[in-house]
Amino acid sequence: MRTQVGIIGAGPAGLLLSHLLHLRGISSVVLEKRSRDHVERRVRAGVLEHGTVDTLVQAGVGARLLREGLPHHGIELRYGAESHRIAFDQLLPGRSITVYGQQEVVKDLIAARLAAGGDIRFEVTDVALHALEDRPYLTFGGERLDCDVIAGCDGFHGVSRPAVPDGVLTTYERAYPFAWLGILARVPPSAEELIYARTDRGFALHSMRSPEVSRFYLQVPPDTSADDWPDERIWAELKARLETVPGFTLATGEIFDKGVTPMRGFVTEPMQYGRLYLAGDAAHIVPPTGAKGLNLAVADVRVLAEALDAFFATGSADLLDGYSRACLKRVWRAQHFSWWMTTLLHTFDTDDDYGRRLQVSHLDYVTASEAAATTLAENYVGLP
Ligand code: APR
Ligand code: PHB
């Protein structure tokens, strides 16, 4: 078998890349180790930056997103006994975010690829990368796929990054001493906007998926299992962390999904080796506090699709050679923003009264100063 671009991973990065290449007349095959059902049900974050929405709409895969996505023009920061709105619409006229589950993006992309005759192989085994320096090929389940280029879109635990010879990549990492417990509940949102809450019991986030379904997160110890969290315990803790302002009552309902997300920052430099290009979580991870993971994956493959277009159209590898450099600026901005939001809103084991007062002082500043609020807002909705 032969294709122009062999893509490993059918997450948002691999699927969108395959679609963007198809629009440019470039062939690809996507190899995914999990089932279609599994990738379509995997619950992840759900905040799309302005530019991410534009990319999906321009690529012709935004119809359902425009119909069902929930546009948001601000977020709420809750701490002490007060709520403060960061009003994107006033600070940055015309820019907003859209709440739309990542697995909905994945479903839309799979549907678009299959409708166009795209080649996605689910449940493939033993994917391995070979001859990355010049004539790359992939093997899987006893088959061989020759390619001009390989895109490693196989997430943090994939096989692409480890296929690069030792000593080529430098990795940068930050671990956090907590995780997030995320749930989906069949209950209408208790507020119109996302609420990021800092309390001495830990962080909590109120989000949503639809007028009938709410999404919540709790800061939890890193070694927690979802089994440690029966529904009553989750609701009690969410109430303790969110019902901190007068007049706010948290509506509760049936919890139908629970999962624990580790929190880490990770970047590999460069994001390429020979004819292998890494995109999305395969190259970098952010803690979910700024909701940047999916948006970074989309930004990477936008750059990669352009570079591949130039490469196949003209034979020039200039843009491909600059791929990593072009992506890493945005990647590091998102690393910093996610780290900053995380340190602003979570409790750390090492917190002392001095540290806590610094945190509150910073929150007071962000909510009182238009300059500071604009900094948060422009990073949150996404830099151009
Ligand atoms: N062979 C084939 N496929 C693999 C392999 C492998 N050895 N290892 C992993 N995969 C698949 C995974 O099953 C997954 O479907 O690669 C895909 C990677 O997809 P994601 O993890 O969704 O990563 P990405 O597409 O980069 O999207 C980034 O998704 O992880 C979230 O929060 C993250 O929002 C971010 C976004
Ligand atoms: C979500 O709705 O899943 C979500 C929202 C905001 C975040 C992270 C996740 O910062």
Q: Are residues 166 and 284 in the same domain?
A: yes
Domain count, the chain: 2
Locus of tokens 């930056």? 49
Q: Quick check: is 82 in a domain? A: no
CA of 288 to the centre of ligand 2 (A): 7
Rounded to a whole number of angstroms, the CA Rg of the chain reads 21
Q: Quick check: is 239 in a domain? A: yes
**280 close to ligand 1 (CB < 6 Angstrom):** yes
Q: Are residues 19 and 108 in the same domain?
A: yes
Q: In sequence order, which ranges of 213-369 are alpha helices (DSSP H)? A: 231-242, 293-314, 318-321, 323-345, 353-368
Locus of tokens 């909590």? 204
**11 close to ligand 1 (CB < 6 Angstrom):** yes
Q: Quick check: is 372 in a domain? A: yes
CA of 243 to the centre of ligand 1 (A): 36
Domain limits at 187? 176-263+347-381
Q: Quick check: is 104 in a domain? A: yes
pLDDT at 352 over 90: no
pLDDT band with cut points at 50, 70 and 90 for residue 148 = very high
Q: Are residues 153 and 199 in the same domain?
A: no
Query: How much is the pLDDT for 248?
Result: 97
**103 close to ligand 2 (CB < 6 Angstrom):** no
Q: Are residues 292 and 225 in the same domain?
A: no
- Whether this prediction's pTM lies above 0.95 is answered by yes
CA distance 87 to 245: 19
Task: Tell me which residues are annotated as active site.
Answer: 72, 196, 288, 292, 380
**265 close to ligand 2 (CB < 6 Angstrom):** no
User: Average pLDDT over the chain, rounded to whole?
Assistant: 97
CA of 158 to the centre of ligand 1 (A): 7
CA of 99 to the centre of ligand 2 (A): 8
Once rounded to an integer, what is the mean pLDDT over residues 69-74? 97
Q: Are residues 13 and 33 in the same domain?
A: yes
User: What are the tens digits of pLDDT across the range 317-351?
Assistant: 999 999 999 999 999 999 999 999 999 999 987 77
**292 close to ligand 1 (CB < 6 Angstrom):** no
Q: Quick check: is 81 in a domain? A: no
User: What are the tens digits of pLDDT across the range 114-143?
Assistant: 999 999 999 999 999 999 999 999 999 999
Q: Quick check: is 313 in a domain? A: yes
Q: Quick check: is 273 in a domain? A: yes
CATH code of the domain containing 251 = 3.30.9.10
Task: Give one DSSP letter per residue of 313-356, joined into a string.
Answer: HH---HHHHTHHHHHHHHHHHHHHHHHHHHHHHS--TT--HHHH
